[in-house]
A and B are shown apart, each in its own frame.
Chain A
Amino acid sequence: GAVVSQHPSWVICKSGTSVKIECRSLDFQATTMFWYRQFPKQSLMLMATSNEGSKATYEQGVEKDKFLINHASLTLSTLTVTSAHPEDSSFYICSATVGGTDTQYFGPGTRLTVL
């Protein structure tokens, strides 16, 4: 149980385009989803916290107009990287929690490469 999927697993795009990444909880309803960014050989950096039906809460230093998060249902959250640039190239990982616990279950990650 507690499986989280992400799509796509790998995306390459041209500079200036927008990319959407989906995060789904497959066998449970996720009250909260989190979006992280990870650089090579570094730990996870929390970007934002997303609750179903409400606006995401962004961490300090994360541009909310750059990284648009939508959490339209209890099983789906999306991260859209708008007008992507090479410095946005990174590994993006989502996670989801089951209601009432702090345990986060992570998706497999999406590798974004911006040319």
Chain B
Amino acid sequence: QKEVEQDPGPLSVPEGAIVSLNCTYSNSAFQYFMWYRQYSRKGPELLMYTYSSGNKEDGRFTAQVDKSSKYISLFIRDSQPSDSATYLCAMSNPGGTSYGKLTFGQGTILTVHP
């Protein structure tokens, strides 16, 4: 079993739809949770960074963390064609020898069509 599971999709939605992306994880030591967006043939771009359970909102993006269920989500409101990309969840354990390392999900390919 992988430490981080993410549905690879692909996910196709119409413009204006609400998109829900999710990851589950098994390592309870993960404390920091991130969402990255990666356009084709580009490096990942940090979208959201959260610590501990709860919600964090930034414009059209909302990140949710539920540590009791080991489940994180990214919601995109009013999705746009420019949101079409691969979305990667990532998480890290700040303690021990894993400090600074990220564990990534497989990535979800999202297409928003006009």
Contact = CB atoms under 8 A, between A and B. Distances in A.
Given A43-B88, A44-B88, A102 B42 contact: no
Interface residues of A, number: 23
Contacts, number: 53
B41 A109 contact: yes
Nearest to B103: A46
Interface string A25-59: 00000001010000001111010010000000000
A35 B105 CA distance: 17
A43 B101 contact: no
B88 A97 contact: no
Contacts of A67: none
Given A44-B44, A93-B44, A108-B43, A102 B102 contact: yes
Interface of A: 4, 6, 32, 34, 41-44, 46, 49, 91, 93, 95, 97, 102-109, 111
